[in-house]
Amino acid sequence: MKRVKSSQKAQANNQSNSLKHRHMVTQRLDESIPLDSKEWQAVEQILMRLTEFAPESLITECVNAIAVYADEQAQQGYILGQDDLIKQLKSRAA
């Protein structure tokens, strides 16, 4: 019984650490991605034109899906970049 409880606590701690890490990565990305760029302004203009023809709910759903995908890709890129940095630092230290 104690083993099960300790294993459950360990899993809960791992999940908590993972969530904290994901939150930290998301926060760093939010701080470093500028929304006042030419590229983003072009996206906003396209979305504004689309709202004239498509229902607002469909536009919102589309934007949310794109944002989730972009967040996941950015997080993966950030994590891979950190892994590459660690490998590079280890090779320099060796």
The predicted structure's pLDDT at residue 9: 62
For the chain, what are the domain ranges? Answer: 2-93
The predicted structure's pLDDT at residue 41: 87
Q: Which amino acid is at 45?
A: Q
Per-residue pLDDT of the chain (94 residues; tens, 9 = 90+): 555 566 666 666 656 666 776 777 677 766 766 677 888 888 888 888 888 888 888 888 988 898 888 888 888 888 888 888 888 888 888 7
Which residue, chain included where needed, has tokens 């794109």? 66
The predicted structure's pLDDT at residue 7: 60
pTM of the model: 0.50
- Please name which of 75, 66, 76 lies closest in space to residue 26, comparing C-alpha atoms: 75
